[in-house]
Amino acid sequence: MDTQINRTQIIDLTQRLVRCHTEAGDEKEAADLVLAEMHRLGYDRVNVDENGSVVGMIRGKHPGPTLLLDGHIDTVGVAPGVPWKQDPFGGAVIGGKLYGRGASDMKGPVAAMVLAAAAVDREELSGTLVISASVMEEVLEGVALKTVMEATRPDFVVIGEASDLKLVHGSRGRAEILVETIGRPAHSSRPQEGINAVQAMLPVMQAIDRLALPAHKTVGQAIIALTDIISEPYPGHSVIPSRCRVTYDRRLIPGETKESVMRTLAGLPTIKGATVNVSLAQGEHQTYTGRTFLVDKWFPAWLIEKDHALVQKAAKGLQLAGLSVSYDMYQFCTNAAYSAGEAGIPTIGFGPSSGSLAHVVDEYIEIDTLVKAAQGYLSIISSVLG
C-alpha cells in the first residue's frame, strides 16, 4: 500500500469541514463536502443514506472481511456570548494547531480517515473498506451508525474519536435517567394542605447519592451524576409545586443492562403521600434529511480484550507505521455504544488529539498528530485487510 499521507490535503479538508456549521441535525453542508471529496478521490461507491450519513466504499482485489472506519461530522454548538480568541468556524492554523469547532471532535479525524482510505493500494487489499461520515452522534450515540452498519455489514469497526493516538479497547456507556416525584398542590399560604414535590425529592436524591455502584477492573467505576432539577408549575406563583423531575447521567460499565440499572433505583424513599416514578429518558431528534428518531437514552458500555485479533492486528499496524502502541479506555460515550455495545461487532478506537479538547472554547487539533493519525488509519487498514 502507498504509505504517503499528504499533509497539505489533510489540513485543507479539515479546514473546509470546520468552516461548515454542522450542529446535530444540520450536517448537510459537511456531508455534501465529504461526498464530493470521496468522489474526487476515486472511491468505488459513495452514497448518502436515509439519515444523511455519507458512506464511501473501496473494494480490494482479493476477497476478505469488511472493515468500517467511522467518524461523525456533527458538532455541539457555539454558545452566544462565549468569547473565542479564534473564529470557531475559521479553521485558522497557528503554531502547528488548527482551530475551530469540531477540529478535534471530530472533523480532523474524519478528514484523516477519508484521505487515508484513498491512499490504499487496491491490489494489496483483501476485503472491503468502508468510511462512514455519520450524523447525530452528539445527541444519540450510535443511532445513525446502526443504519450504516445494517447496509454494509462490517466484520470490524474502528471509531476515530480522540484517543491521543492510543489504541482504545473499551469504554463506559451512558444512560439518562428521569426521577419524578408527584405531590399535591396547595396555596403557598397554606402549605400544610399540600404535598411539596420538591421536598419529596430531597430524600430521593440523598438515597441516590448513597447508592453503591459497581466497578469494572478495566473500564473503571460506574457513575451517577445529577444534571438538572425542574419543578412544576414554574414559576410557582403562590402555589406549592406538585411535580418535581430530576435528570441523572448514569455512566455504565460492561455487563450492565437496563434491567439491572433500573433495579438499583427501585424502592426509593420519599415523604408520605408522594409518588416516585423512575424511567429512562427518551431522545427525539430529526436528521437533516427529515427522519425522526425517538429512542431510549441508553448507550451501552463495551470491552474488547487486548488479545483479540483485531486489537493485535491494529497494534501491529501502528508499530509498522512507526507509532508507539499504548492502550486506553474512552471515558466518554461514542458511536461504539452501538457497534460494540449493542451489535457486538469487534470494535476499537483510535484517533488524534485529546478528549479534553472536545466541546471547549478555542477547540483545536495539533496538525502533527492529525497526520500521524492518518498514517495510523492507513496502517491499521493494511494490517487488518492486507
> Any idea what DSSP says for residue 187?
B
Do 196 and 240 meet the contact criterion of CB atoms below 8 Å apart?
yes
Confidence of residue 5 (pLDDT cuts 50, 70, 90): confident
Residue 2 has pLDDT above 50, yes or no: no
Instruction: State the pTM of this model.
Output: 0.93
Compute the average pLDDT of residues 268-292: 96
- Residues 82-141 have pLDDT tens digits of 899 999 999 999 999 999 999 999 999 999 999 999 999 999 999 999 999 999 999 999
Domain 174-286 has CATH 3.30.70.360: yes
CATH topology identical between 7-172+301-385 and 174-286: no
Mean pLDDT, rounded, of the chain? 96
pLDDT number for residue 79: 81
Q: Are strands 62-72 and 126-134 parallel, antiparallel or unpaired?
A: parallel
* pLDDT for the residue 81: 81
What integer pLDDT is reported at residue 80 of this predicted model? 82
Q: Supply the pLDDT for residue 1.
A: 40
Average pLDDT (327-352) is 97
Return the beta strands (E) in 115-166 as ranges.
Answer: 126-134, 156-159
Distant-in-sequence, close-in-space partners of 6: CB < 8 Å, separation ≥ 6: 115
Summarised one tens digit per residue, pLDDT across range 31-58 is 999 999 999 999 999 999 999 999 999 9
- Cβ–Cβ < 8 Å for 71, 160: yes
345-380 tens-digit pLDDT = 999 999 999 999 999 999 999 999 999 999 999 999
Q: Compute the distance between CA of residue 346 and CA of residue 4 in angstroms, rounded to an integer.
A: 28
pLDDT in tens, 185-243: 999 999 999 999 999 999 999 999 999 999 999 999 999 999 999 999 998 899 999 99
Q: Residue ranges of the domains in the chain?
A: 7-172+301-385, 174-286
- List, in order, residues 6 or more apart from 353 with CB less than 8 Å away: 103, 104, 105, 108, 109, 162, 164, 365, 366, 369, 370
Which of 65, 167, 161 has its CA nearest to residue 106?
161
> 7-172+301-385, superfamily in CATH?
Zn peptidases (3.40.630.10)
How much is the pLDDT for 4? 66
pLDDT digits (tens, 9 = 90+) for 285-327: 999 999 999 999 999 999 999 999 999 999 999 999 999 999 9
